[in-house]
Amino acid sequence: MVQRDKTQTFGELDQWLDRHRVTEVECLVPDLTGVARGKILPREKFKEDRGMRLPEAVVAMTVTGECPEDGPYQRIISATDHDMQLRADPSTVRIVPWAVDPTAQVIHDCFDRQGRLVPYAPRSVLRRVCELYAAKGWQPVVAPELEFYLVARNTDPDLPLRPPIGRSGRAETSRQAYSIDAVNEFDPLFEDVYDYCDKMQLNVDTLIHEIGAGQMEINFFHGEPLALADEVFLFKRIVREAALRHDMYATFMAKPIAGEPGSAMHVHQSILADGMNLFSREDGEASDAFRWAIGGLQRYVPAAMALFAPYVNSYRRLARATAAPINIEWGSDNRTVGIRSPLAPPQARRIENRVIGADANPYVALAATLACIYLGLEQKIEPTPECSGDAYRQPYQLPRSLADALERLRGADELAEVLGRDFVTVYSEVKEVEHEEFMKVISPWEREHLLLHV
């Protein structure tokens, strides 16, 4: 496990930049889609300009850079394009390992003109939920597992994606789940990935080959939610950069290739109280809190699906018998359910949310899954009986489309109270614009099957 060389104050941050002889600083802000926005500043400018400014809408745009032109969005984000102030979080500073000149990257938080956290910025939402836990004396612990595909370079969006060529000179033509040799096909790339992770002090654990052709998974060590969200955010940048340097793409689309399994971000969650796992009793048996947490996920995950599955493509992944859940059944050591309890000793008892897609914003996804658990604990929600069989035989319980998911999110008052009503409003309006934009596109399937037949 990598020990972070953390800085906590701006004085320590300046010393860190001096020690690494940094000449440029990437000032990063994660937007609603998880894209890194911000500015690149010379070192001296960064030191002088601690309060960098960006327009409010920068963190609240669609994946194509559009904003809603009217409606509730405009009541929260001014049509006159007000500025927000960005403040560096000194604890997030890391070197940019692929930069030619010594370059640092620092993640920033967003504040309004009154000095308050901008409520719809992804980091703000996760901070808000973690503060609710802290007020109860609870410490949430998370461990994400992130899946992604390596694919051959594809510069024409009308062409399907293909697996990349490995060291053997051949592409995968069959599924190679957990194959060591299949991972070794891309050794040069993964050597760069691990080297970058080491230089950026990311706590990545296990690398495996997943089910799909060219599909990989990286596991992160467990830790505090905001720090882990930062690591997932930065890891995506690492993998994309490393893949490009080896003449391929890395994609975190939920369903990039037809006929192959989709990519998820499974999140393991537990809660500490006075250093003890809240999910286990003193005798080692599951606690009331364990049941209530599952009950909270079962009740509120369907309403939070637009946060876990944020794009029209996301819902292609959630299909029966494709290594992705279709419902909110729960079970122990059962990978067909949406909510799994892995085999573990009492001190490590945890709950795995298997619904979240790899395309989800890590800050938003962690905030939402923790919000569901928080509501379960607060309301003492009892779960359904454990599913001991194949959950794929059970009915669909999750939204089947982004439009359905957005309708449920807008009606989830209790979830909005935890996440913040302004955030839910802005997020829903932005995603509505994305959905409307998608509905203007005519797909190849429609041209192939409807053009001459209807």
Q: What is the CATH number of the domain that holds 52?
A: 3.10.20.70
Give residue-wise pLDDT tens across range 210-262. Answer: 888 889 999 999 999 999 999 999 999 999 999 999 999 999 999 999 989 99
| pLDDT score recorded for residue 2 | 53
> Does residue 453 form part of some domain?
no
259 and 205 share one domain: yes
Q: Identify the residue whose tokens are 């859940």.
A: 325
Helices 187-199, 225-245: axis angle to 10 degrees equals 140
83 and 210 share one domain: no
107 and 246 share one domain: no
86 and 146 share one domain: no
Beta bridge partners of 142: 223, 269
Q: Which of 15, 35, 26, 34 is nearest to 86 (CA)?
A: 26
φ, ψ for residue 148, nearest 5 deg: -160, 165
173 and 260 share one domain: yes
Distant-in-sequence, close-in-space partners of 116: CB < 8 Å, separation ≥ 6 = none
| pLDDT score recorded for residue 5 | 67
φ, ψ for residue 14, nearest 5 deg: -65, -40
Q: Among residues 62, 90, 119, which one ends one of the domains?
A: 119
> Does residue 1 form part of some domain?
no
> Does residue 425 form part of some domain?
yes
109 and 144 share one domain: no
138 and 254 share one domain: yes
Q: Among residues 62, 94, 119, which one ends one of the domains?
A: 119
CB 395 within 8 A of CB 341: no
50 and 138 share one domain: no
55 and 175 share one domain: no
> Does residue 409 form part of some domain?
yes
**Total-model pTM:** 0.95
- Model confidence at 49, pLDDT cuts 50, 70, 90, reads low
pLDDT over threshold 90, residue 17: yes
State how far the Cα of 100 lies from the Cα of 102, in Å rounded to an integer: 7
213 and 141 share one domain: yes
> Does residue 3 form part of some domain?
no
Domain count of the chain?
A: 2
343 and 398 share one domain: yes
> Does residue 125 form part of some domain?
no
Domain of 72, in residue numbers: 10-119
Q: Which of 88, 93, 89 is nearest to 4 (CA)?
A: 93
Give residue-wise pLDDT tens across range 136-193. Answer: 999 999 999 999 999 999 999 888 999 898 888 888 777 777 678 888 889 999 999 9
CATH number of the domain where residue 316 is located: 3.30.590.10
Beta bridge partners of 220: 204
235 and 381 share one domain: yes
Name the H helices within 216-267: 225-245
φ, ψ for residue 98, nearest 5 deg: -95, -5
> Does residue 353 form part of some domain?
yes
State how far the Cα of 39 lies from the Cα of 31, in Å rounded to an integer: 13
Q: Among residues 119, 147, 181, which one ends one of the domains?
A: 119
> Does residue 452 form part of some domain?
no
